[in-house]
Amino acid sequence: MTKFESNIKQVQSPQSAVYKKLSDLNNLSTIKERVNDTAFIEQLKASGQVPEDKLEKMQELAAQMEFTTDTVSIPHSPVGNVTLRIVERDEPKCIKFLVEGAPLQANLWIQILPTSPYESKMKCTIGAELNFFMKQMAKKPLQEGVEKLADMLAMIPYGY
């Protein structure tokens, strides 16, 4: 298994609030509304996190997303019907996911550690079964993907 780790991200919310929000994937359904919020789209454009030519595709994918407590599914994604399923919760420090329906076998860990009573830090790790040739092709996109995921998760308003 090849691992791709994000940099450690600071989150302006306590560990318990971050864990509570991320351990129930229904809480992320606001993504569907947020990607159509003009102010949010302008923020994305200004930050350069999502190229302008990819924004419409991102909005289309977000509109198709389906959420349950344990899963987030993207039917009709570019690689087919993909589901991210929670397979383990270690409150309040780690959530482990399995990727289903993707062309490669993969999993995801989100680690959350406290830095103060009101802040925490987070790191995302993707593990993927890749043969030598796939590793060479997928290395850069997977590293960039785990970094963007961590950036996105660090920006979520967790509230407490």
Ramachandran angles phi, psi of 44, nearest 5°? -65, -45
Mean pLDDT value of segment 34-49:
76
What are 105-160's pLDDT values in tens digits? 899 999 999 999 999 999 999 999 988 888 888 889 889 989 988 998 998 888 76
**Which one-letter amino acid corresponds to residue 61?**
L
- Domains, the chain, ranges and CATH? 2-155 (3.30.530.20)
Q: What is the C-alpha to C-alpha distance for residues 132 and 150, in angstroms, rounded to an integer?
A: 26
Spatial neighbors of 138 by CB under 8 A, at least 6 apart, are 104, 128, 130
Q: What is the pTM of this model?
A: 0.83
Query: Any idea which residue has 């076998």 for tokens?
Result: 105
Q: Mean pLDDT score of the chain, rounded to an integer? A: 88
Q: State the DSSP H helix or E strand holding residue 91, giving kind and residue range, or none if neither.
A: none
**Which one-letter amino acid corresponds to residue 114?**
P
Mean pLDDT value of segment 82-108:
94
| pLDDT at residue 160 in the model | 61
CA dist 3 → 6, 7, 80, 132 (Å): 10, 13, 23, 14
Higher pLDDT pick, 60 / 49: 60
